[in-house]
């Protein structure tokens, strides 16, 4: 529901927050976990080019938010998310008021600002929440059709169940890392078309998946309606589900991805709340077949979020290799969460749901190198060369924002650099 924190005319006394292409205007106020050199991790809010220290602001009496104040002294968001939607709204409103251009309380107190504001460039960012469980989906029709066409032909591209349920698999929460963490090329069992038997080798077809991650903020232990599921989402991050395509091709039948998806999943460090994205809600696409009643849309539950992927070779300039939009998804996160809960599966605060690769209808809007290069057949042009899959030293960066009138709700960056494979130690 829209409220005064979504007002497009709001301005902050933090000047950088008022620049049109700033990711963190006062309408955004995303949450993260950070530390300044030599100090403990704590929770913060991004505003312009600054980070507001939440526990310091509480201790200074700047935020009157009742019992939820104690949860802001944790190093991750889980305790605060567990306070529930009413507390989420109270804090967002208090922050909006504190940082608004007309509020002199912090604006005009130099000593107080020095205690509670930190330049973004001076902080180290961490995973913003403790990940309870991680589930990844396969919910973009364009992506599913592209991948299916490569392996089964266009006439059999979509599995028989695809238009009826959001397909997903349980991933490894332990392998989720924050943006900026290097990723190492994995080993695995692979079998090429010319191989008589599988072999153990470094992945030669390492890839990314451009996704949005949704964070569960309200626990549940019963089947949820789509509307309830939508209300249970606290916020969203950019998500790169690194994927070893050659390992995946050999292992995925009959039970789906396993080692091919367990190397790493990178998240952007700032959690953009559902409240900040409220003005940008859009409908899911027209259904090719009717969904069963428990999965039918309960209103606009996707978001108009422009997304892109850039690749920079080691020592080279980056090239944007894909541009797409989250509104291209066939299934919304609310439908994914509702489906996840139908068997009675308990959902916890801090559960992470990956949207699945976000691809659009055009070649340049595909969200993975598997699609962009069409399985390696069509090399992608980058600065100083081409790519079919990721090479050692390459840095991949995901970016995204929802565009408002004179401001934008940005996610910051989700980036990672691929390191060379490590040789496994052998028993003597």
Cβ–Cβ under 8 Å, residues 358 and 326: yes
- CA triplet 83, 89, 95: central angle to 5 degrees? 110
pLDDT value of position 310? 98
CA angle 279, 284, 287 (to 5 degrees): 160
pLDDT lower than 50: segments of the chain:
none
Q: Which tokens is 176 given? A: 């989720």
- Of the candidate CATH numbers 2.30.30.230, 3.40.47.10, 3.30.450.40, 1.20.140.10, the domain formed by 4-126 belongs to 2.30.30.230
- In eight-state DSSP terms, residue 363 is G
Vertex 50: Cα angle to 7 and 26 (nearest 5) = 0
| Phi, psi dihedral angles at 167 (to 5 degrees) | -80, 135
Instruction: State the Cα–Cα distance between residues 230 and 310, nearest whole angstrom.
Output: 30
CATH 2.30.30.230 residue window(s) in the chain = 4-126
CB atoms within 10 A of CB 20: 11
Query: Using CA atoms in the order 102, 106, 107, 111, what is the torsion angle rounded to 10 degrees?
Result: 170
User: Per the structure block, which two tokens stand in for 375?
Assistant: 């399985």
Query: Residue written as tokens 């997903």?
Result: 168
Q: Is 339 a catalytic residue?
A: no
Among 169, 167, 171, 146, residue whose Cα is nearest residue 157: 146
What is the per-residue pLDDT across 126-161, written as a single tens digit (0 to 9) for each? 999 999 999 999 999 999 999 999 989 999 999 999
CA distances from 128 to 120, 181, 215, 363 (A): 15, 14, 11, 34
Which strand (E) or helix (H) includes residue 414?
strand 408-419
Token representation of residue 138: 């396969």
CB 221 within 8 A of CB 343: no
The CATH class, in words, for 134-419 is alpha beta
**Per annotation, catalytic residue among 118, 143, 339, 401:** 143
Supply 412's token pair: 């910051």
| pLDDT for residue 428 | 55
Chain segment 65-79, per-residue pLDDT in tens: 998 999 999 999 999
DSSP reduced 3-state for 374: coil
Burial of residue 67 (number of CB atoms within 10 Å: 0-12, 13-18, 19+): exposed
Where in the chain is CATH 3.90.850.10?
Answer: 134-419
């Amino acid at each position: 529901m829209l409220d005064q924190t979504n007002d497009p005319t709001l301005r902050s006394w933090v000047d950088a927050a008022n620049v049109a292409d700033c990711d963190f205007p006062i309408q955004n106020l995303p949450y993260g976990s950070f530390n300044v050199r030599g100090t403990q991790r704590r929770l913060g809010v991004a505003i312009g080019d600054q980070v507001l220290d939440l526990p310091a602001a509480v201790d200074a009496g700047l935020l009157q938010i009742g019992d939820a104040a104690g949860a802001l002294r944790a190093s991750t968001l889980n305790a605060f998310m567990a306070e529930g939607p009413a507390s989420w709204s109270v804090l967002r409103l208090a922050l909006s008021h504190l940082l608004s251009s007309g509020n002199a309380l912090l604006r005009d107190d130099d000593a107080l600002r020095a205690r509670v504001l930190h330049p973004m460039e001076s902080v180290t960012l961490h995973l913003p929440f403790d990940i309870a469980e991680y589930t990844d989906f396969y919910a973009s029709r364009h992506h599913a059709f592209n991948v299916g066409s490569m392996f089964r032909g266009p006439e059999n591209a979509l599995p028989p169940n695809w238009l009826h349920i959001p397909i997903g698999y349980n991933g490894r929460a332990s392998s989720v890392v924050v943006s900026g963490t290097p990723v190492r090329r994995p080993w695995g069992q692979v079998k090429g078309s010319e191989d008589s038997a599988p072999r153990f080798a470094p992945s030669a077809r390492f890839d990314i998946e451009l996704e949005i991650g949704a964070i569960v903020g309200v626990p549940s232990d019963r089947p949820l309606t789509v509307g309830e599921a939508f209300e249970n989402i606290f916020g969203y991050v950019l998500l790169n589900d690194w994927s070893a395509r050659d390992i995946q091709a050999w292992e995925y039948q009959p039970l789906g991805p396993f080692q091919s998806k367990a190397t790493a999943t990178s998240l952007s460090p700032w959690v953009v709340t559902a409240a900040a994205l409220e003005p940008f809600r859009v409908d899911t696409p027209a259904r090719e077949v009717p969904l069963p009643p428990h999965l039918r849309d309960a209103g606009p539950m996707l978001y108009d979020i422009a997304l892109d992927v850039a690749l920079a070779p080691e020592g080279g300039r980056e090239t944007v290799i894909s541009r797409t939009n989250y509104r291209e998804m066939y299934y919304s996160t609310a439908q994914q969460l509702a489906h996840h809960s139908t068997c009675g599966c308990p959902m916890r605060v801090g559960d992470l749901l990956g949207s699945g690769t976000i691809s659009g209808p055009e070649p340049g809007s595909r969200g993975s190198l598997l699609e962009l290069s069409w399985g390696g057949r069509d090399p992608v042009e980058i600065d100083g060369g081409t790519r079919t899959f990721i090479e050692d030293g390459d840095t991949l960066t995901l970016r995204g924002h929802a565009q408002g009138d004179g401001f934008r709700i940005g996610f910051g960056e989700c980036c990672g650099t691929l390191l060379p494979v490590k040789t496994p130690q052998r028993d003597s």
